[in-house]
Amino acid sequence: MSQHPDSDSSSDSFSEGEAFDVRKVTTNRLKEMKTAGVPIAALTAYDYTMAQLVDAAGVDVILVGDSVSTVMQGLETTVTVTMEHMLYHTTLVRRGVERALVVADLPFMSYQVSADEALRNAGRMVKEAGAEAVKLEGGRVVADTVRRIVDIGIPVMGHLGLTPQSIHKFGTYQVRARDEEEADELRRDAQRLEEAGVFSIVLEKVPAALAAEVTKSVSVPVIGIGAGGGCDGQILVSHDMLGICTRFNPRFVRVYANLAKDMQAAFEHYARDVRASEFPSVDESY
């Protein structure tokens, strides 16, 4: 399925309504998709097998999110995720991906202390783990750092609205920017991120009308999560939409499968078979 980013394929550019292009996804391709009005599909992955499946399904962007904390590590927040965790999971994901753009989250405190440290950590994510871009949270506060990272050749995705790394400041995972003051800040943050050179912005859990307005106001693709249908694309946490993680079920998650139930049933069936000496059979033995 994979092709070199510059190689010719059935289409050189997107036409209205075209949903899928087999070429390797690049940051430029995402910009073209915004211009052509082709919605961008993004999902998270944290390991090789899941990344392979998500990529083979034609999802455009795979985010190695710091949601790894809640999904894989059984934690309540993302704040304790380390660079080493993210490097490890990004390495696994990268091995499974041929077409999608692989974006890795920079974890909390890996980019806030100084731009130099942010550069070093963004560089590690690309050089050691194979990420093709990094994502970090915040607007004006991180804009200069974003500029420095972009200037050395690493694409940056911004993240505004509900920024989970700031959960202890917010005190809640509720919808952000409902009041005009915070909405205005968000509008300004989006502008600053665009000026700083981000290739895309994730907007998490903000009112749909505001998300649609911000999406129109910037030239870079805006990927929404709990931000309504007016964004250029959508992202969900894979384990949520697969119904594997069921303890977190906000209304913005559409659950496409009920894998927790199926997996549980399969595990129970296996345990019953072993206990009843029904596994393995003669055919399953050597």
Sign of the alpha-carbon dihedral angle for 33, 52, 104, 71: positive
* Helix, strand, coil tally for the chain in percent (to 5): 40, 15, 45
- Name the minimum Å distance from CB 242 to ligand KIV: 14
Stretch that binds ligand KIV, among 53-61, 63-71, 213-221, 278-286 (CB under 6 A): 63-71
- 105 part of the interface to ligand KIV, by CB under 6 A: yes
Which of the 8 DSSP states describes residue 165?
Answer: G
Size of the site for ligand KIV (CB under 6 A): 11
Active site annotation includes 204: yes
Quote the tokens at residue 40. Answer: 């961008």
- 60 part of the interface to ligand KIV, by CB under 6 A: no
Quote the tokens at residue 277. Answer: 């000496």
- 201 part of the interface to ligand KIV, by CB under 6 A: no
How many CB atoms within 10 Å of residue 128?
Answer: 13
Main-chain dihedrals φ then ψ at residue 142, nearest 5 degrees: -105, 5
DSSP run (H or E) holding 161 = strand 156-161
- Name the minimum Å distance from CB 63 to ligand KIV: 6
- 67 part of the interface to ligand KIV, by CB under 6 A: yes
Q: Which of 27, 30, 34, 65 binds ligand KIV (CB under 6 A)?
A: 65
Active-site residue (options: 194, 204, 278, 284): 204
Quote the tokens at residue 234. Answer: 């959508």
Q: Which of 106, 154, 183, 235 binds ligand KIV (CB under 6 A)?
A: 235
Amino acid identity, position 54: V
- 232 part of the interface to ligand KIV, by CB under 6 A: no
Q: Contact positions toward ligand KIV, by CB under 6 A?
A: 44, 63, 65-67, 105, 202, 204, 225, 235, 237
